[in-house]
Each structure stands twice: as structure tokens, then as C-alpha cells.
Amino acid sequence: MKRAFVTGTTGQDGSYLVELLIEKGYEVHGTIRRASVFNTARIDHLMDHPQVKLHHSDLTDSSNLNKLLATIKPDEIYNLGAQSHVAVSFEVPEYTAQVDATGTLRLLDAMHSFCPEARFYQASTSEMYGKVREVPQSETTPFYPRSPYAVAKLYAYWITKNFRESYDLYACNGILFNHESERRGRTFVTRKITTNLAQVHLGLRDTVRLGNIDAKRDWGYAKEYVEAMWLMLQQDEPDDFVIATGEMHSVRDFCERSASWLGYNLVWEGEGVTEIGRDETTGKVLIEIDERYFRPAEVEELLGDPSKAERELGWKAKVGLDELVDIMMESDMRVVKKEAGIVE
Ligand code: NAP
Ligand code: GDD
């Protein structure tokens, strides 16, 4: 049985990847962090699975990583663990670098020392394109990071490439554009919109308060994106790939589609921080702008060119934005009702 080692199993992508690897017959060694409250909600259904073994670990602890890789000797390593919130990285830049940048170095170093035949996947990001130099962005587009998170991830991207070239390791960067799901963290914009709008609709919250609603992203469905991670490690040669839908939409557009799912027709009034989004029929204010959610430096637009992945991996996104909104709104109406004890 092949062995996989996955950091960040408690996160959105980690939970989908563990499910995929189980399906493919792997023994999956996942890392979790000790927390003062339970943080395993996304993988609770997998905890007792015979193919799953969980280990306490942290990307800031190299002795722990060395021991784990020396004893597990995995065939594949997926480095998904990260302080992954862009806005938070401005508040904890040094910690973000410790986890996202040098954490990747620690893991690569452990692999080089204890299981150099393993294959390595690095969770690189479209945030590295930042202030974009061309549209759409492909594997050859120059980078221009705009946050401590993106700068840290750029180090991780290059150290992965450097270990591949220096030590002949099988190490790949998946440059993934934003991908969302019903398991997305609630502080990322799509999930914030779907949960908060569900709460507004049910009378549990007044409005949804957002920052820059004119930012544009290439949003795909996370469950499909983990398949691309696995495919990258099944090729003859290691390489880097952009994974994206090839379509770009604004946060404003995401709000309109989510509101429409609930039967509202969102219209906009005012501008800047005084702009509001109102339901045209009832006049109810659904969206307000809140300066707290603006970032010191913004990534205005990201649009991926996934043609290399389609050509070489046979991977293509299937879920479009409308279907993504359906999946998330449908799930969040259920989740929010359950949390509020609303029985139908
Ligand atoms: P996520 O939901 O925030 O999950 C991050 C995972 O990393 C969690 O399991 C978290 O553990 C773990 N983690 C945090 N700090 C750690 C540390 N010091 N040591 C070990 N693990 C740590 O993120 P995601 O959306 O699944 O993203 C997965 C990866 O892909 C991340 O590296 C992210 O930067 C990258 N990425 C994501 C996207 C996207 O759109 N989702 C796009 C491109 C790249 P806790 O649960 O204990 O906090
Ligand atoms: N989080 C958040 N909250 N973002 C908001 C809000 C808000 O209230 N209002 C507007 N936005 C805007 C942000 O300013 C940003 O331009 C956009 O919505 C998307 O923000 P996020 O959903 O937080 O995602 P991100 O693009 O910054 O980062 C995500 O995608 C990256 C890939 O491009 C994260 O998953 C990163 O880990 C990932 O690398």
C-alpha cells in the first residue's frame, strides 16, 4: 500500500485530499495541531478509518518533521499546511514566514534526508502573481507578491524548485487559484458571503459587512482541485502547473448570485465606504462596506490560464460559478439553520 504524508489535513483542501487518497488506496498519514478546542470538524468522519493515521505536528518544528518522515518514509508528501489567510498575514508576518516559507524548507529538508525518493507537492498560490504583470496568468507569468503571505509562498515556490534542480528530487508546485467549497473557512470572502447572507435571510444578522467588493478572482471548486494535486505526483517528470477555471468574477458578482439564490435582486447604491447592496423588491439592505476589511495592499484581479494542466495532466475544472454558489448556499442554509436550532 502506498503511503502519503499530508500537512494541513484539518483544512479545507486537506480534508478533500485525505478522502481522495483513501479512495485511491493509500495509507494516509496526516498532521494535526494541538488546539485548546477541537479543530478536526472537517475530518471527524475519517478519524477512525483504518487507512488514516494522524500525528501531532507543526511546520515550525523540524525535529518533529524529521522524526515523522524518517519513520513513515512516505511515497508522496503533500504540503498543504499554512497560515493561509492573506489579511491575517499583515498582522502576523513573521509567523506566516515561519510556517509558509521556512516550514516548506524544513519539510523538503526532511524529505531530502530521510526519503529522497518520495514525491513532493507544494501548495503554491495565485497570490504570488499579486499586482499582475499579464492577463491571464500562466506558469511563465512573472510574480509580484502583495502580502507577507504571498512573499512567504514565493519563497516556498522557489525553494521547492531549487530542491528539485539541486538534488534531483521529484518536487512540484501547484499554482492554485482560489478554490472554495462548503468546507471553506468562514473568514474567506465566498464562505463569509454565503453564511452571512443565510443568517441575514433567517433574521439572525442585520447585514453582511465586506471590504473591497470590486476585487476579482478565478474561483473553482476545491474538491476538484485536490485531484490535480494528486495528478501532478503521478507524472514521469516533476513540473509546476497552474490550476484554475479560466474565468474571473468580482466579489460584487458573487454577492449578487448568492443573494439571487435566496430570491433577492441585489441593487447597489452609493459609492466607496458608503455603498450598500439592497434587495430591489423589499428595499432591505443586505450588504454594507466596512473599512476594517480593506487590506494594506490589495490583489485587484486574478485570472488563471489552466491550459498546461489540461494538456499535460488531463485536468479541467468542471464546476462553474453558478454551481459553486448553489453548492455553498444550499449547504450554508442547512448549517445556519442547524446552528440556530431552526427545525423545519
Ligand atoms: P486552510 O483551510 O486554511 O487550511 C490550512 C491548514 O494548515 C489547516 O489544517 C491548518 O491547521 C494547517 N496549519 C496552519 N498552521 C500550521 C502550522 N504551523 N503547522 C502545520 N499546519 C498548519 O487552507 P486551504 O484553503 O485548505 O489551503 C490549503 C493550502 O493551499 C494552504 O497552504 C494555502 O495557502 C494553499 N492555497 C489555498 C488556496 C485556496 O484558494 N484555498 C489557493 C492557493 C493555495 P489548523 O486547522 O490547526 O489551523
Ligand atoms: N476575506 C475577506 N473578507 N475578503 C474580502 C472581504 C471580506 O470581508 N471583502 C472583500 N474581500 C476581498 C479581499 O480583499 C480579496 O480581494 C478577495 O475578497 C478574496 O479574499 P479571500 O477570500 O480572503 O481570498 P484571497 O484571494 O485573499 O486568498 C485566498 O486565495 C489565495 C489564492 O489566490 C486564500 O485561500 C489564500 O490562501 C490563497 O493562496
pLDDT digits (tens, 9 = 90+) for 243-257: 999 999 999 999 999
Ligand 1: distance of its center to the CA of 284 in Å? 36
Q: Fold for domain 3-180+219-243?
A: Rossmann fold (3.40.50)
Query: Can you tell me which atom of ligand 2 is nearest the CA of 294?
Result: 14
Give the integer Cα–Cα distance in Å for 326 and 281.
Answer: 22
pLDDT at 322: 98
Q: Give this prediction's pTM.
A: 0.98
User: Which uninterrupted H or E stretch holds 120?
Assistant: strand 119-125
Q: Which ligand is nearest to the CA of 176?
A: 1
Q: What percent of the chain has pLDDT over 70?
A: 100
Give the residue numbers marked as catalytic. Answer: 125, 127, 149
Q: Is the pLDDT of residue 344 over 90?
A: no
Measured by CA distance, the residue closest to atom 30 of ligand 1 is 123
pLDDT of 315 strictly over 90:
yes
Q: Which CATH class is domain 189-217+249-301+320-340?
A: alpha beta
For a mutational test of ligand 2's pocket, the pick from 84, 217, 221, i.e. the residue with the most ligand atoms closer than 8 A to its C-beta, is 217
Phi and psi, residue 275, nearest 5°? -65, 145
For ligand 2, pick from 178, 184, 192 the residue to mutate: most ligand atoms within 8 Å of CB.
178
Condensed to tens digits (0 to 9), the pLDDT of residues 92-101 reads 999 999 999 9
Asked if the domains 3-180+219-243 and 189-217+249-301+320-340 are classified in one and the same CATH topology, the answer is no
Q: What are phi and psi of 187, to 5 degrees?
A: -95, 0
Pocket of ligand 1 contains residue 178 by CB under 6 Å: yes
In this prediction, residues 134-152 reach a mean pLDDT of 98
The domain spans of the chain are 3-180+219-243, 189-217+249-301+320-340
Question: What's the pLDDT at 266?
Answer: 98
Task: Work out the average pLDDT over 21-50.
Answer: 97
Pairing of strands 276-279, 249-250: unpaired
Residue 12 has pLDDT above 90, yes or no: yes
Which cell goes with 65?
Answer: 518533521
Proportion of the chain above pLDDT 90, given as a percent: 99
Tell me what pLDDT residue 343 has: 87
Tell me, what's the pLDDT at 92? 98
CA 84 / ligand 1 centre spacing (Å): 5
The residue count for the chain = 344
